[in-house]
Amino acid sequence: MKNKGIAKSVSMTLLVVVIIGVVAVLALSGGFQFPLQQITQQQVTPTGVTLDCPDDKSSTVSIVARNPQNTTGTIYNAPTVSWVQSDGKTFLTEAGTAGSTRSPSTGDSLNCGEEYRAIIADTSSFVGSSKISYVDPVSKVTFDNVRSFVANGAAMTIEIESIPIGEVQYMITDASGNNLTVSATAPTASGDGWCSGCTTSANQAMSSGDTLSRELKLRVNGSGTGVGSEESPNYICFDFTLTAFSRSNGIVVTGLQESPTLPAFCSADADEKAYVAPALRATAGEYIYPLKIYNDLTSAVDGDNVIYQYVDSAYFTGGDGSIKIGTADDALTNVGWTQRTGTQDIT
């Protein structure tokens, strides 16, 4: 349980292989906060674009922020989008226009011929995103689902995927599907057994050798909303007592890959174990994972609770002014949705 108080060439080759392997494991596990320069390796850089810059070498670039989950109502949102240069730092920002019809923003003057990324960062209101589509104003070529663009012509419009952040709600059921969520004092509860910040299965006694077979369910509350970027790993992190539950076998989630190290937020929160989880979307409905709680060490006592939380990744501005992505900022403060926990109470 966490303490909340918070030959020579051959040798060199082997060393390089080991270093690369460690970096890869940390990167996949969320042990790093990814700077923009690393993220851009995934981008689809526009090719074959013919530049046609105005005399003042300035292109007016507008933004349209579309929610792909909505087909009616508020299809377009008004997040603040950062125009990010190749050094990973924000050049200017531009806000979208909310509504049911497509209405490009006024636009910012960007340097014609330069490559930029459009990124939704530094917000707890919208999912972190840099997924864009646009039509090059000169070649008339359509670029869809790319991560960068070249400012071109007198004016152009960038459309970015923009999903409002909802709220992750939890439900715990037994092996027969019976709802065990019992808290009436959760920060939020929808009245149908789902809640956030909830306690489940209160006063569950366990002795050494006992196993609880559960199903952990998650969903996003709020129409057309989501939690978690699709551009960096998200997690379900667990906090539990290591004298009663071993880290390897005490808490096991089926259907998710265990993270080899803790992501930044969960490490700062002194959690014990993390599983890589998908980005959650309201339109996807329920996410259901079998959960085994095995008292494989000394018998659990009152207060040896198992606490879990969904931890998302988001874009943020680091202390050096560059855009990064991860589960916490450089000060290890939460980014993205406001984390709330669920608890399997043990007595």
- For 110-131, what is each residue's pLDDT tens digit? 999 999 999 999 999 999 999 9
Summary mean pLDDT of the chain: 85
Q: Which residue has the tokens 């910040």?
A: 197
% of the chain with per-residue pLDDT over 90: 69
Q: How far apart are CA 83 and CA 60, in angstroms?
A: 12
pLDDT at 225: 95
> Which residues in the chain are classed under CATH 2.60.40?
43-161
Residue 17 clears pLDDT 50, i.e. is over it: no
Distance of CA 249 to the CA centre of its chain: 26
Going by pLDDT thresholds of 50, 70 and 90, the confidence category of residue 176 is: confident
Span of 105-109, 324-328, 337-341, 342-346 with lowest mean pLDDT: 337-341
Span of 21-30, 162-171, 220-229, 252-261 with lowest mean pLDDT: 21-30
Residue 263 clears pLDDT 50, i.e. is over it: yes
Q: How far apart are CA 174 and CA 142, in angstroms?
A: 50
pLDDT at 178: 81
The 10s digit of each residue's pLDDT in 100-111 is: 999 999 999 999
pLDDT at 209: 97
Identify the CA nearest to 311 among candidates 336, 331, 332: 336
pLDDT at 3: 41
pLDDT at 216: 93
CA dihedral 78, 83, 84, 86 (to 10 degrees): 150
Going by pLDDT thresholds of 50, 70 and 90, the confidence category of residue 14 is: very low
Class of domain 43-161: mainly beta
Q: How far apart are CA 299 and CA 307, in angstroms?
A: 18
DSSP 242: T
Q: Which residues contact 22 (CB under 8 A, 6 or more apart)?
A: none
The 10s digit of each residue's pLDDT in 250-260 is: 999 999 999 99
